[in-house]
């Protein structure tokens, strides 16, 4: 059972890593002027909710399977994701707003955020991998 939980988390984590990489690529495309703000933001906004859900599922799974440490590790990031989503001002077109993204260094902060998330997911990935192997061995 334990192994199944971690295999699922591993897969989910992989997806999140890919998503982070996708965010970074798209944002840097915008930075380099390969795409315009409108298409960049609509691309990214599409993935904000999947990312949030994907991450929440793992976190909840960890809580359910009573892996406290991993749960607590994930909790701040999940909270941040949800907070960011909820706090979008009513007039904006999502977390990434094409009219704002070039202002006040938002692009840079989005980039930084995506990088940090990538690092975090990589860390989680190895943690799940280790836990999974451990669980498989124990079985």
Contacts with other proteins by CB under 8 A lie at 30-31, 33, 35-38, 89-93, 98-99, 101-105, 107
Q: Give least dist CB 52 to other proteins, A.
A: 19
Handedness of CA 5, 3, 66, 79 (dihedral sign): negative
Q: Give least dist CB 117 to other proteins, A.
A: 23
Q: Give least dist CB 93 to other proteins, A.
A: 5
Handedness of CA 85, 114, 20, 34 (dihedral sign): positive
Q: Give the residue with the Cβ less far from other proteins, 101 or 124.
A: 101
User: Which segments of the chain does DSSP mark as H helices, in order?
Assistant: 2-31, 37-64, 68-86, 106-138
Q: Give the residue with the Cβ less far from other proteins, 35 or 77.
A: 35
- Separation between Cα atoms, residue 41 and residue 27, nearest integer Å: 9
Q: Give the residue with the Cβ less far from other proteins, 50 or 105.
A: 105
């Amino acid at each position: 059972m334990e192994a199944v939980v971690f295999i699922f988390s591993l897969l989910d984590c992989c997806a999140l890593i890919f998503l982070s990489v996708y965010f970074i690529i798209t944002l840097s495309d915008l930075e380099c002027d390969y795409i315009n703000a409108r298409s960049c933001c609509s691309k990214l906004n599409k993935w904000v909710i999947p990312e949030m859900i994907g991450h929440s599922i793992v976190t909840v799974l960890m809580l359910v399977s009573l892996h406290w440490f991993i749960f607590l590790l994930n909790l701040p990031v999940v909270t941040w994701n949800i907070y960011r989503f909820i706090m979008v001002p009513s007039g904006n077109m999502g977390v990434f707003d094409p009219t704002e993204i070039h202002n006040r260094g938002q692009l840079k902060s989005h980039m930084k955020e995506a990088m940090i998330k990538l690092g975090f997911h990589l860390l989680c990935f190895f943690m799940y991998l280790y836990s999974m192997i451990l669980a498989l061995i124990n079985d």
